[in-house]
Structure 1
Amino acid sequence: MDLMNWIWENSRMDQKSRPNWSLCNFLQSDKQYYQWQFSKCLEYAAKRGDLVRVKWLFDHFKECEVPHHVIYAAAETGQLAVLKFLLNHDYGVYGAKIDSPEVKKRKVESEIDVQSRITVKWGSRNVEHALCNEHPEVAQWFYKHVPKGEYDHGDDRIRNLISGALDAGADEFAEALVPQGSNILDFAMDCNRLEVIERLVDGGYFVRDDFNAARSIEALVRADRLDLMKRISTQQNFPPDHAVHWESHWFYAMSNACHTGNVSILRWLIEHPLGRILLKVEKRSKKLNGLILRAAEGGHTDVMEYLHDEGIITEYKYALLLAIRKNQLGSVKWLVQHFPQSEIIPDYCIMDEAAKFGRIEILEYLQSLDASIIPGWAPIHTSRNGETGQTALATIRVSPTDANLKVYKGAVQCQATWLPTDPMDHASANGHFDLVKWFDSNRPEGCTTAAIDAAAANGHFEIVQWLRVNGKRGFTTKAMDGAASNGNLEMVKWLHENGGAGCTKAAMDRAASNGYLQMLKWLYTNRSEGCTINALEGALGRGHLHVVCWLQMHYPQYSPSNMDIEVFTDNKFEIFLFVHIHYAYILTRTFVQDILGDDMRGNPNGNDAYIFNWLQEKYVEE
């Protein structure tokens, strides 16, 4: 709070009293930035339930608007106290009725205070949003207290509210929403809650609703309720008239059964007439191969065995790669034993994937086998200084790495060939010291300079020192460039004293782009390489305003190009303000329109609306 008070007290309302650049200069003198700051700060405080800061903002800001996304933020985390405060201080609700007896009474009770003349945009779908985030008490409050003009209370809306309340376990709230003379189950067909589905089955509701019958079959897999699945099946005629949605939900039910390892449910789904239809329809596609992926990542070898015996699977390589990533040794063993000879994986692909993720137990198992039976392995007699791997007949999707060989978990890239040295290089880059030593003792391929460079870039001191002491490879400039890019100042200092290879201008450029000001200061003082215009443009593009200010002071000769700056950062308004003062030539009408994009120009959302208004006022309407 002390910092907030200091910033407020030092912000100037008169534009003529701004001798130097500071964001404080704009806080109370620029109406759009004023509103933007209020909205951003309020969203942050509301989401965390920080009522003290919410009150501070209302005490200091006047005639602002609380955007709908602030309401969503509070509802998402169940901040009912904040929502009540916003309602009691909503000028849009009480401003015109300030002299009414009810409002006067509540003012005396200190519930209502609209002196700040702040209006709240309550929006819609707040009840559903609270229910989806499991805050039924907030949902009930919204429904009871939020101005009714903000809502559409049609039949579809009521149905969605009742279903959402039932899903959240708010049965009393759901019952209260049911129109007089109706049964709550008439509005519950979209509900995924087990108890509700069971009531729907007992009431025979799925006889007349084949769409939700299919959807419920999928939901019941996770609950392990084969009995209810069978009962729903008996309430439908097969094949159904509308087979498209049945096939979709049936497939995902099969996928869920593979993921949970439930062979009995999977067998019933596949042997069911609709399951047989689905297998026939998808026989020529690769969609069914996704089933073994779900089983492999969970280590469910019994499911994999069943799929194999039924002849459903035609591709195994991606299941093997996924099992390695998920560290499922049992799945790896089964897949190696059942891998078809007709399916090809490039040499070193499997070894490299295990190295990236540090799967030493899997590597030890594979190393114990005859290399000829392991797909995507490598012949044991490869030369230690070999420079090429086997050329693949086709590309394969594997885990990608960044410029410093650090793996991106959860993503994939297509690759066709591997170097024999890739596994040890990637083990080093990703900090798997036990694997680095294992490769050195058990494999002949060795590593390249990328091993020690990437280990240094990613901050793995122990590996760097071991590789250096054991004379594996020396450093290149990529080591210090990479360490600077990642903000590892201690590693940069160590390399400066011990590496000998130095760095390039990319060290400062990348450190600036990633916002590492202390790194920039050290490199500026202790190295002579300097930086390029990329440092300033990169820092601008990523919103590192503190870095931009420092670069402008120390490298005044650089002026950013109007072609290379892309502002997609959380503080882009502040970047625009800086550019407005120092590099206004960039903000041409064409550039502004390109930055905003078609969607924002048509319907700016959230805090971006204030940036849009500011740009319109300053650079489009003038």
Structure 2
Amino acid sequence: MTVVPLLVVRLLFRSKAGFGSLPHVVNAVSVFLDTSVELPLERASKLGSLPLLNRIWDSLEMLPDHSSWSVRRLLLQEDSYTERQFRLSLTEACKKNDRSMVQWIFEHFPGRGVRMQVVEEAAAAGAMDILQYFADNERDSEVDTRLAKRDIFFGGKDTANAAAGGHSDIVRWLYQFETDYERDDAATMEAAVANGDEELVRWLHQVMEIQVCGVPRAAANGHLSMLQFLSAFDRIPAGVVVQAAKNGHLDVVRWAIDRDWDNEKDEEDSDEEDFYTSGFYSRQRKISRPPYLTSIGGEASLAVHTAAINGHLKVAKYLHARVDWPMDYEEQKVNSKRLRSTLAEIEKELGKDHQAAPISRKTMLEVVRKGLLEVVEWLCFEFSGNHTIDLFRPLNEEDTLVYAMDEAAAYGHLDIVKFLHEVAPSLEEEFSRKRKKNIAEKMNEAMFGKRSKRHGIQCTTEAMDGAAANNHLEVVMWLHDNRSEGCTNALDRAAGNGHIEMVQWLHAHRSEGCTTIAMNVAAGFGHLDVLKWLHEHTSAGCTTHAMDRAAASGHLNVVKWLQDNRHEGCTKGAMDGAAENGHLGVVKWLHENRSEGCTNAAMDFAAQSGKLDVVKFLHRYRTEGCTAKAMSGAAAGGHVRVMQWLHANRPEDCSGAAIDDAALHGAFEAALFLFLVRGEKMSQEVIRNDNVRGYPGFYDFIFEKMW
């Protein structure tokens, strides 16, 4: 089929006498100008346009044998590339649940097998029509589809993906197909449990004989009826209370704790039973039951933190009321030991990203950052008397001490700032009163040492600095009127973020002033109004970083203003940065109006970023050239057009090892170009790299071409 010429080409040649009888000329010019035909099929598939796919495919017929290398030609030359395009295009069609596109791909790629990952995507999308189409075209199918039969690889996460999407009918349908690949039955059950699909869970357990798992996910989603249904099988596993508390499901929390206490078949709590096996279908015989959920060091005590940081105050209060908190030193030792055991059990169930934790300074910092005033108040009044919990001890984050009031100010939570300011004296007084020790405490100190002094509520200059940086003017004004800490770099940070009203207020009411950082950073982010104001009202000025940053970010108006109003100028980094980020207009202006020039990093950076127009300009008008990093960087980014240009115009600067960079970044078309056109071979280290072999197409390519 002939590719329909572009409209602009047809109109152009229609006005030219003598070309009406030369349609092949019109077609050739159209194909030359039409860059869409150079799109890989898998990228075109993402656009969901069958006409575009047809246009690309039909253009293959117009490729002369002597034409230069192109992505389209790979479909005719390289089987590994064709297989990759088939697989990735089919994957995109499945994601879109586009059966017509799937049919187009099958018709144009006869006989190619459908890999398991493609089936998984179709299952995840709930694409029953596509899955049935796959089955009808399978090699063993007796359905006449008028197409060559092919292998369809079911298994893996196909049923799990379908279950996660709530497609229980597809789950049952998929299980009729046997597979040579292990199917992830556990993930399927876990997804069904998480969705609260009791009917599917019962079918998976009774018919497919899959063990129940993933119970904490049902708790996280608030599926109480599912938990009640599953509780007949075995003890509720670790993590249920934490996950329910995380999402505020008080009914689930109540049920889990009440069931834990009402379970009469278990023996009484034993302080000696600190390590236990939890979970459904546990075959380990238990000599005595594990601690109750609400016991000292139990899961409920860790879930208080979880509920609090997510703003579920009712849940936090309920858990706090049910938990047995340590009352003396001996109980504190038991608590510490059990907490380690409980956390280990929770991590087994939930992984390392769980939110279970004891109440601590981290709890306070998280609720402060989220602006949860009621939770902050509750934590202060409920735990201020607990000598084992230091809510306001600063936390070291990236070598910086972080204070609760500072964070409240930086996040703009003025109500919390005011509360902490008002309650600080009373808490300090209570701490002083609590320091009067009873006889038992004195004996504990004699035996085990003195407990550390607890921290009161503190505020530093970071409060105003952070509030200014984030444009919380009301907070800054309140701190100015009610606190004495002041600020340090508040004006610099406000200017850098473009907060001109904040800059003006700080200049008028504070004495700290600013540094060159203010104008430098403001220029880099294009805040010309701030730049002008600072230029007129302050004396700190700026450095060459101002123009360098503005140029790199593409703010030509700022660059021009600095040229006309400041004397600092710029460095070679200005053009280098502008080139890297593809700001051709800035590169041209610097070339014509400044004398600093650039380094060979400019073309290297532009090539790495795929900015071919910048590369061409630098090649034509500058003398710095590039290095082997240009081709290597372009290869790593998959910028084939840039690579073609470098190969044709700067072959002396091209490395012979760029194919390794392409392979390590999964840039398949780039790797094929380097192999077919430049004759490069991958190193043995890269050939053996498991990540490289895992990229679509590379496995077949390596074993076909590299061995």
Deviation at 1:265, TM superposition (A): 3.9
Measured in 1, the distance between the counterparts of 2:501 and 2:547 equals 24
| CA separation of 1:320 and 1:344: change in aligned 2, threshold 3 A | closer
Measured in 2, the distance between the counterparts of 1:122 and 1:525 equals 62
User: Corresponding residue for 1:166?
Assistant: 193
- Work out whether residues 458 and 486 of structure 1, in 8 Å CA contact, stay in contact via their aligned partners in 2: yes
- Work out whether residues 515 and 539 of structure 1, in 8 Å CA contact, stay in contact via their aligned partners in 2: yes
* 1:482 aligned onto 2:558: no
* 1:451 aligned onto 2:518: yes
| CA separation of 1:477 and 1:191: change in aligned 2, threshold 3 A | closer
Letter in 2 for 1:310: N
Correspondent of 2:161 among 129, 138, 142 = 129
User: Corresponding residue for 1:587?
Assistant: 657
User: Corresponding residue for 2:250?
Assistant: 224
| CA separation of 1:489 and 1:243: change in aligned 2, threshold 3 A | farther
User: What do residues 469-521 of structure 1 show as CA deviations (whole Å, max 9, x unaligned)?
Assistant: 43555443322322232233444455455555443322232233334445445
Measured in 2, the distance between the counterparts of 1:5 and 1:203 equals 53
Report the secondary structure of 2:697's partner residue. helix
Deviation at 1:217, TM superposition (A): 1.4
Measured in 1, the distance between the counterparts of 2:274 and 2:336 equals 16
* 1:610 aligned onto 2:697: yes
- Work out whether residues 86 and 120 of structure 1, in 8 Å CA contact, stay in contact via their aligned partners in 2: no
* 1:242 aligned onto 2:268: no
User: Corresponding residue for 1:292?
Assistant: 364
Measured in 2, the distance between the counterparts of 1:16 and 1:4 equals 22
Correspondent of 1:179 among 203, 206, 221 = 206
Measured in 2, the distance between the counterparts of 1:13 and 1:614 equals 26
| CA separation of 1:521 and 1:566: change in aligned 2, threshold 3 A | same
* 1:144 aligned onto 2:173: yes
Measured in 2, the distance between the counterparts of 1:600 and 1:344 equals 58
Report the secondary structure of 2:554's partner residue. coil
More deviation, 526-535/592-601: 592-601
- Work out whether residues 480 and 502 of structure 1, in 8 Å CA contact, stay in contact via their aligned partners in 2: yes
Letter in 2 for 1:358: N
Correspondent of 2:386 among 288, 306, 310 = 310
Residue pairs, 1:10-21, within 5 angstroms: 17-19=66-68
Residue pairs, 1:61-76, within 5 angstroms: 68-73=116-121, 75-76=123-124
Deviation at 1:36, TM superposition (A): 4.1
Measured in 2, the distance between the counterparts of 1:287 and 1:575 equals 56
Deviation at 1:458, TM superposition (A): 0.9
Letter in 1 for 2:193: L
User: What do residues 156-176 of structure 1 show as CA deviations (whole Å, max 9, x unaligned)?
Assistant: x55543442232243443343
User: Corresponding residue for 1:361?
Assistant: 474
Identity of aligned residues (%): 24
Residue pairs, 1:372-383, within 5 angstroms: 374=485, 377-378=486-487
Deviation at 1:427, TM superposition (A): 0.9
- Work out whether residues 11 and 26 of structure 1, in 8 Å CA contact, stay in contact via their aligned partners in 2: no
- Work out whether residues 427 and 435 of structure 1, in 8 Å CA contact, stay in contact via their aligned partners in 2: yes
Measured in 2, the distance between the counterparts of 1:463 and 1:200 equals 58
Letter in 2 for 1:293: L
Deviation at 1:198, TM superposition (A): 4.9
Letter in 2 for 1:290: K
Ranked by relative contact order (alpha carbons within 8 Å, sequence separation 6 or more), the top structure is 1
| CA separation of 1:94 and 1:594: change in aligned 2, threshold 3 A | closer
Measured in 2, the distance between the counterparts of 1:368 and 1:535 equals 50
Report the secondary structure of 1:331's partner residue. helix
User: Corresponding residue for 1:103?
Assistant: 143
- Work out whether residues 12 and 27 of structure 1, in 8 Å CA contact, stay in contact via their aligned partners in 2: no
Measured in 2, the distance between the counterparts of 1:75 and 1:508 equals 50
Measured in 2, the distance between the counterparts of 1:18 and 1:436 equals 61
> TM-score, with normalisation over the residues of structure 2?
0.64
Letter in 2 for 1:313: D
User: Corresponding residue for 1:281?
Assistant: 336
| CA separation of 1:241 and 1:435: change in aligned 2, threshold 3 A | same
User: What do residues 256-278 of structure 1 show as CA deviations (whole Å, max 9, x unaligned)?
Assistant: 22124445543554565665468
- Work out whether residues 191 and 197 of structure 1, in 8 Å CA contact, stay in contact via their aligned partners in 2: no
User: Corresponding residue for 2:133?
Assistant: 88
Correspondent of 1:531 among 566, 590, 598 = 598
Measured in 1, the distance between the counterparts of 2:641 and 2:302 equals 46
User: Corresponding residue for 2:235?
Assistant: 209
| CA separation of 1:275 and 1:326: change in aligned 2, threshold 3 A | farther
Report the secondary structure of 2:598's partner residue. coil
User: What do residues 26-63 of structure 1 show as CA deviations (whole Å, max 9, x unaligned)?
Assistant: 45444444444454555455434455655555555566
The structure with the larger Rg is 2
Aligned length: 547
More deviation, 287-296/51-60: 51-60
Deviation at 1:439, TM superposition (A): 1.1
Measured in 1, the distance between the counterparts of 2:588 and 2:79 equals 35
Letter in 2 for 1:88: Y
* 1:327 aligned onto 2:384: no
- Work out whether residues 140 and 173 of structure 1, in 8 Å CA contact, stay in contact via their aligned partners in 2: no
Report the secondary structure of 2:250's partner residue. coil
Letter in 2 for 1:534: A
Measured in 2, the distance between the counterparts of 1:542 and 1:152 equals 41
User: Corresponding residue for 1:407?
Assistant: none
User: What do residues 389-413 of structure 1 show as CA deviations (whole Å, max 9, x unaligned)?
Assistant: xxxxxxxxxxxxxxxxxxxxxxxxx
Measured in 2, the distance between the counterparts of 1:266 and 1:439 equals 41
* 1:256 aligned onto 2:306: yes
Measured in 1, the distance between the counterparts of 2:616 and 2:563 equals 26
Structure 2 segments unaligned to the other structure (5+ residues): 1-48, 279-292, 341-356, 395-401, 429-453, 667-683
Deviation at 1:144, TM superposition (A): 0.8
Measured in 2, the distance between the counterparts of 1:332 and 1:142 equals 53
User: What do residues 442-485 of structure 1 show as CA deviations (whole Å, max 9, x unaligned)?
Assistant: 21112122212222211223322332343555443322322232
* 1:508 aligned onto 2:575: yes
Measured in 2, the distance between the counterparts of 1:120 and 1:549 equals 47
Report the secondary structure of 1:304's partner residue. helix
Measured in 2, the distance between the counterparts of 1:592 and 1:327 equals 46
Structure 1 segments unaligned to the other structure (5+ residues): 108-112, 379-419
| CA separation of 1:563 and 1:547: change in aligned 2, threshold 3 A | closer
Report the secondary structure of 1:17's partner residue. coil
Measured in 2, the distance between the counterparts of 1:556 and 1:228 equals 75
Deviation at 1:149, TM superposition (A): 0.7
Measured in 2, the distance between the counterparts of 1:151 and 1:612 equals 18
User: Corresponding residue for 2:288?
Assistant: none
| CA separation of 1:158 and 1:74: change in aligned 2, threshold 3 A | closer
Measured in 2, the distance between the counterparts of 1:490 and 1:324 equals 34
Measured in 2, the distance between the counterparts of 1:25 and 1:524 equals 38
